[in-house]
Amino acid sequence: MTREWNDRIDLRSDTVTLPDEEMRRAMAEAEVGDDLYGEDPTVRLLEEESAAAVGMEAALFVPSGTMGNEIALHLHGSPGEEVICEALSHVYVSEMGAMAALSGLLPRTIPAPGGLLDPMAVEAAVVTDGGYHSRTAVITVENTHNFGGGTVYGRPHLERILAVAERHGVPTHCDGARIFNAAVALGTSAAVLAAGFTSLMFCLSKGLGAPVGSLLCGSRDFIREARRMRKMFGGGMRQAGVIAAAGLVALRKGPARLPGDHEKAARLGRALAEIPGIVIDPASVQTNIVVFRVEPELVGGTVPPEGTAAAFLARLGEAGVLGGQIDATRARLVTHRDVSGERIDEAIERIRAVVGVAVN
Ligand SMILES: *Cc1c(COP(=O)(O)O)cnc(C)c1O
């Protein structure tokens, strides 16, 4: 039986949240001006509060996280240089090859379990001599790591990577699309996790719940250059205060709601771990992302041509539970504000029904 559209439980991403009443009201009432003349007071306020939230000097409102990351990489490197990044990092696998297409940069990928880079592997990958080899432009980390399963870099781990960068005089960029999830998981602040990075991007449009927008943060000088690049990349916006207003609500109210998302993900992870054929260590669920492996037994015993993950997700979709695929065998479910705890329980029941586990 295929479920009605409005009965679906959408766990594809935390980007699917809809703006709430408070955001809609703030958008309607926003004071605006032409931001390219620096005259949109709502955008300016959002940029100031964002910089303060991550403990950096300045911030720039950009239409997407991808643009924020790509402006940063463009400014940190020159054509022919390398970007050190994890093998499943967003900057490498989910940005349309933009670092190469827009900036002439090469990804130097390092695979890491759970997406968290080993500082010694980073050290080994850094190239500074440049006699034959492509020089390292920037070291990137993703915190939390999306395809690694929402995993979190703690401060001591970051310190070791920052020390490598410092030793070689290489800048650092944090893809902090979900930096507030990381801060909540560690019981610390985004500013503590951002400290020492040359630049950091975070998204308003993920778990914080805004309809649109991300912030690129760094020093005042860096953000002045980033503003020029935003215009060059086509991201200069005019009366953007209309969307920045929703972003301000997200920045102020969003972080306090994230523990609920993490609790829902933990519950989902524990339930999935009990289903034969689903492989997940429930302790690996640290934030709002649940990644698990699908064994062939879940999809009829043989490996289908599209892979076990796609086949299983198709069956879940028919039961009205939407998820995403990471690779041939792994799937991802993401919790967020618009799916309540009861709906997560409903999703668990539907998953059990799909795989034929008795619902108790
Ligand atoms: C979502 C995301 C981004 C930015 O995505 P946009 O869709 O361009 O806003 C960047 N990095 C990570 C890790 C993400 O999950």
pLDDT digits over 309-357, tens only? Answer: 999 999 999 999 999 999 999 999 999 999 999 999 999 999 999 998 7
Question: Any idea where the domains of the chain sit in the sequence?
Answer: 5-16+255-355, 21-253
pLDDT at 357: 74
Q: Which residues pair with 282 in a beta bridge?
A: none
pLDDT at 130: 67
Q: Which of 36, 55, 82, 53 is nearest to 232 (CA)?
A: 36
What's the CA gap between 347 and 317, in Å, rounded?
Answer: 11
Q: Which of 311, 54, 342, 309 is nearest to 203 (CA)?
A: 54
Query: Is residue 175 scored above 50 in pLDDT?
Result: yes
- Segment 181-185 mean pLDDT: 98
Looking from the CA of residue 89, the nearest atom of ligand 1 is: 13
Do residues 323 and 310 touch, judged by C-beta distance below 8 A?
no
Instruction: Determine the topology of domain 21-253 in CATH.
Output: Aspartate Aminotransferase; domain 2 (3.40.640)
Report pTM. Answer: 0.96
pLDDT at 360: 47
Do residues 117 and 175 touch, judged by C-beta distance below 8 A?
no
Cα(330) to centroid of ligand 1, in Å?
Answer: 19
| Residue 203 Cβ < 6 Å to ligand 1 | yes
For residues 275-291, b (16+ Cβ closer than 10 Å) or e, as one string? bebbebebebbbbbbbb
- For 221-249, write each residue's pLDDT tens digit: 999 999 999 999 999 999 999 999 999 99
- For 270-289, write each residue's pLDDT tens digit: 999 999 999 999 999 999 99
Do residues 46 and 40 touch, judged by C-beta distance below 8 A?
no
| Residue 90 Cβ < 6 Å to ligand 1 | yes
What's the CA gap between 323 and 311, in Å, rounded?
Answer: 12
| Residue 143 Cβ < 6 Å to ligand 1 | no
Q: How many CB atoms lie within 10 A of CB 34?
A: 14
| Residue 175 Cβ < 6 Å to ligand 1 | yes
Residues contacting 64, CB < 8 A, separation 6+: 205, 213, 214
Cα(327) to centroid of ligand 1, in Å?
Answer: 18
Share of the chain above pLDDT 90, in %: 94
Indicate the burial class of 305 (C-beta count within 10 angstroms; 0-12, 13-18, 19 or more).
exposed
Token readout for 120 is: 């010694």
What's the CA gap between 177 and 100, in Å, rounded?
Answer: 21
| Residue 66 Cβ < 6 Å to ligand 1 | yes
308: cis peptide before it, omega within 30°? no
Residues contacting 80, CB < 8 A, separation 6+: 104, 105, 106, 134, 135
Token readout for 337 is: 């504000």
CATH class of 5-16+255-355: alpha beta
Looking from the CA of residue 206, the nearest atom of ligand 1 is: 1
| Residue 177 Cβ < 6 Å to ligand 1 | yes
Where are the extended beta strands (E) located within 4-105?
A: 9-10, 58-62, 82-86
Cα(141) to centroid of ligand 1, in Å?
Answer: 13
∠ CA 37-43-48, nearest 5°, is 110
Cα(304) to centroid of ligand 1, in Å?
Answer: 30
pLDDT at 356: 86
Indicate the burial class of 168 (C-beta count within 10 angstroms; 0-12, 13-18, 19 or more).
middle
Question: Alpha carbon 16 to chain centroid distance?
Answer: 13
Mutate-to-test residue for ligand 1 from 16, 94, 143, 215, highest number of ligand atoms within 8 A of CB: 94
Residue 129 vs residues 89, 106, 126, 133, 204: alpha-carbon distances, Å: 26, 17, 10, 8, 39
Token readout for 317 is: 């979709």
SS3 per-residue string spanning 80-100 = CCEEEEECCCHHHHCCCCHHH
Q: Which of 208, 128, 207 is nearest to 170 (CA)?
A: 128
Token readout for 312 is: 């299983």
| Residue 65 Cβ < 6 Å to ligand 1 | yes
pLDDT at 2: 59
Q: What long-range pairs does 344-351 form, CB within 8 A, spacing at least 24?
A: 344/9, 344/264, 344/267, 344/268, 345/267, 346/9, 347/9, 347/11, 347/268, 347/321, 348/267, 348/268, 348/271, 350/9, 350/316, 350/319, 350/320, 350/321, 351/271, 351/272, 351/275, 351/316, 351/319, 351/321
- For 11-44, write each residue's pLDDT tens digit: 999 999 999 999 999 999 999 999 999 999 999 9
Q: CA end-to-end span of the chain, whole Å?
A: 21
Looking from the CA of residue 15, the nearest atom of ligand 1 is: 1
Cα(260) to centroid of ligand 1, in Å?
Answer: 21
| Residue 171 Cβ < 6 Å to ligand 1 | no
State the chain's mean pLDDT as an integer: 96
Token readout for 347 is: 């999703």
pLDDT at 5: 60
Looking from the CA of residue 142, the nearest atom of ligand 1 is: 13
